[in-house]
A = this chain, B = another copy of it.
Amino acid sequence: MIRPQSIGAVTPQTEHFGEALNLRSGGVLPEYDLVYETYGALNASATNAVLVCHALSGTHHVAGYYEDDPGNVGWWDNLIGPGKPLDTRKFFVIGVNNLGGCAGSTGPRSLNPATGKHWGADFPFVTVEDWVTAQARLADRLGIHRFAAIVGGSLGGMQAISWSLQYPERVANVVAIASTPRLSAQNIAFNEVARQAILSDPDFHGGHYYEHGTIPTRGLRLARMIGHITYLSDDSLAEKFGRNLRHGRPMYNFDIEFEIESYLRYQGDKFSQQFDANTYLLTTKALDYFDPAFEHGGHLPAALARSTADFLVVSFTTDWRFAPERSREIVYALLHNQRNVSYAEIDCAAGHDSFLLDDPRYHGVLRSYFDRMKV
């Protein structure tokens, strides 16, 4: 075992797809680009590939950094690299920016070839299943027939699950972390408020804000603030911020008084400057729609019967967005089908965001699972 280190400088690549993609919404993408990154080397038999699927605000930049921007480190760099739990000396790891995204793959901010203008609100609705289909096409291009593993946290976990249902023969292992087989009414409710914040922003212009030279930053900022509350646990907020007052006493105004307010405003402001509002809308809808059990009368075991992969399911005790109970649903449905499934419920204080952190028990479980994986 070596000391864990960074994969180093990485370079995103872009793959163009000229053949149309028929989407579940009935929409069609006539052509599209996918931007992606790879870490490590594909072995001769192409059996060591691991696809990392990203969540709402994630991208293809999963590990390493950019030569010209060394501070821009991949969002799961603590997990992936030489000597890290997902070891790039063994695995060929791929990160892809999803369709409809705003980090390089074709999305609402891209130009619609039919009009020469930004897609904006005309960009078709994309689903988890569509993302998986597009990822499978990329895998074809890269000569990967069967993945050693599909890995994802949160919405990324949904993609990993969907892979095992859409392409069971192409997935040896699914690693679904802090995920859920479907959103609850409360989850949808939070998404809906976030969407309403964006949709009702006067700068949104029905989604065609690019043409108006505006950005619905107010709405996007609120959406991100709401999101952030659900990513963290009550306890972790209490520990980080408590009731700490910036000025030591109440000031009786609407400026920042409590430190938690400062944190939320900062996160909201930062996000609203860089993320695309249409992508946010589409992604929350993809979250809402995902429900493999829907076509099976809500019966998850029936839905997961198609999957033949081995599963590692991980949840976090303080995650109230996608609580352990939701992961257990996946586990029970797999067991019902007599599938191989490992399950770890990690006692980590950080809530939903725990999947991005490097809690030693959590990373220990992942390391162990990847170490014994045959490629």
Contact = CB atoms under 8 A, between A and B. Distances in A.
A309 to B, nearest CB: 25
Contact of A188 (B125, B195, B243, B285): B243
Copies in the complex: 2
B222 A196 contact: yes
A8 to B, nearest CB: 38
Nearest to A202: B202
A193 B264 contact: yes
Nearest to A200: B218
Interface stretch (A58-66, A164-172, A249-257, A367-375): A249-257
Interface in A172-229: 182-186, 188-190, 192-193, 195-197, 199-200, 202, 218, 221-222, 225-226, 228-229
A345 interface: no
A254 B182 contact: no
Given A185-B241, A186-B237, A192 B264 contact: yes
A288 B228 CA distance: 19
A199 B256 CA distance: 13
A76 interface: no
A320 to B, nearest CB: 8
A24 to B, nearest CB: 8
A260 interface: yes
A77 interface: no
B252 A125 contact: yes
A258 to B, nearest CB: 5
A310 interface: no
A347 interface: no
Contact of A192 (B196, B238, B260): B260
Contacts of A250: 25, 289
Nearest to A192: B261
A37 B333 CA distance: 56
Nearest to A124: B252
A222 B234 contact: no
Given A185-B258, A291-B243, A222 B237 contact: no
Most buried by B among A193, A222, A281: A193
A218 B196 CA distance: 9
Contacts of A229: 186, 189-190, 193
B25 A237 contact: no
Contacts of A260: 185, 188-189, 192
A185 B237 contact: yes
A188 B186 CA distance: 19
A214 to B, nearest CB: 12
A152 to B, nearest CB: 21
Contacts of A242: 185
A4 B250 CA distance: 45
7 contacts: A192-B225, A192-B264, A193-B222, A195-B254, A196-B221, A250-B289, A254-B285
